[in-house]
Amino acid sequence: MYAQMVESGQAGTTDQDRAFQDKIDRNVRIEPRDWMPEGYRKTLLRQIGQHAHSEIVGQLPEGNWITRAPSLQRKAILLAKVQDEAGHGLYLYCAAETLGKSRDEMTRELLAGKAKYSSIFNYPTLTWADIGMVGWLVDGAAIMNQVPLQRCSYGPYSRAMIRICKEESFHQRQGFDIVRTLMEGTEDQKKMAQDAFNRWWWPAIMMFGPPDGDSVHSEQSMKWGIKLNSNDELRQKFVDQTVPQAEWLGLNVPDADLKWNEERQSYDFGTPDWDEFFAVIKGNGICNRERLDARNKAWDDGAWFRDGLMAHAEKNTHKIAAE
């Protein structure tokens, strides 16, 4: 999902380009100081940046419920979880920085609305059950996308993904556990869970990006080893994994076309509303403006803090130099 809408750069045809491709084919990781085609660098920067921004903006819909989590334990777990997202954003920005772009620069692009982030975070979290759905479905889809990226060709990105996947495994489980508790609870709680499921199912399906046929050109990214699976491949895997879980929980999947296909040993499922998907990407989701406003406000309100710390550090350097 983080990599799905990234336009891929062009490969060159020089000897250097061929040697580079050969290295990737031999499964040798590319490291920051190695030669790389400009297209590879740019594509990676876009992809890692987009991924990092998604983690940062992704803090907001869940952070929205830290103050309202319904038990002390849930409050602690959610705070730890959203904090992890900040950590993941940080790891990813650092990985992108090895390609020669500073975190502040990337942040400015996000704040100016020039950089993309996963559009799932432009949906609102309306009830406590939404927090369960975000963990179970949204993080579930994210993990599906991130696990293969641990093997991606760029060393710093691959290492960041390894660390992230290790930490992320608790996120999906805590979401599932929230939903499970609701489904074992009162009638109101069950209703709350089904309602949230109805609202999050399709957006989660769409997280994997448009169908392969209509997808932006990503062949080159596949060749370069920075995108490892097609959108539809991952989407199918997600549906096959999640439908039995929904059934176990006693939730109805809001898709009339959902049917087990014995021959394919997979589920057939309906077509998401791609018009909605593109509308949200274009900025017409329910929370696009709120999300960017919140990030801008945090950045602007924090300027004095960052400047103050720099001013102190500079004073200290001068003091030490003078001694």
Please give the residue ranges that form the binding site for another protein (CB under 8 A): 31, 33-35, 56, 59-60, 63, 66-76, 79-80, 82-84, 86-87, 89-91, 93-94, 97, 102-104, 108, 111-112, 128, 160, 163, 167, 178, 181, 185-186, 188-189, 294, 296-313, 315-317
To another protein, the closest distance from the beta carbon of 24 in angstroms equals 15
Nearest residue (CB) to another protein, 262 versus 301? 301
Residue 223 C-beta: closest distance to another protein, Å = 21
Min dist CB 224 to another protein, Å, is 18
Q: Taking the complex as a whole, how short is the minimal distance between the CB of residue 98 and another protein, in angstroms?
A: 9
Find the shortest distance in angstroms from Cβ 156 to another protein.
9
* Shortest Å distance, C-beta 143 to another protein: 17
Backbone angles phi, psi at 290, to 5 degrees: -60, -40
Give strand pairing partners of 261. 266
Check if the beta carbon of residue 239 is closer than 8 Å to that of residue 267: yes
Tell me, rounded to whole angstroms, the distance of Cα 168 from its chain centroid. 11
Describe the chain by its helix, strand, coil percentages, rounded to 5. 70, 0, 30
User: Which is nearer to another protein, 82 or 196 (by Cβ)?
Assistant: 82
- Contact assessment for residue 107 and residue 306, using Cβ atoms and an 8 Å cutoff: no
Return the residue matching tokens 């336009």.
7
Provide the angle, in degrees to the nearest 10, between the axes of the packed helices 103-111 and 38-63.
Answer: 60
The answer to whether the beta carbons of residues 170 and 239 sit under 8 Å apart is no
User: Which lies closer to another protein via its Cβ, residue 76 or residue 222?
Assistant: 76
| DSSP per position, 1-62 | --STTPPP-----SHHHHHHHHHHHTTPPB-TTS---HHHHHHHHHHHHHHHHHHHHHHHHH
Shortest Cβ 204–another protein spacing (Å): 21
Query: Which of residues 82 and 144 has its CB atom nearest to another protein in the complex?
Result: 82
- Residues 280-317 as b or e (16 or more Cβ within 10 Å = b): bbeeebebbeebbebbeeeeeeeeeeeeeeeeeeeeee
Give the integer Cα–Cα distance in Å for 34 and 15: 15
Min dist. Cβ of residue 158 to another protein (A): 13
The encoded tokens of residue 242 equal: 């999640």
Nearer to another protein, 183 or 205 (CB): 183
Q: Which is nearer to another protein, 216 or 298 (CB)?
A: 298
Looking at the Cβ atoms of 166 and 217, the one nearer to another protein is 166
Residue whose CB is less far from another protein, 303 or 321: 303
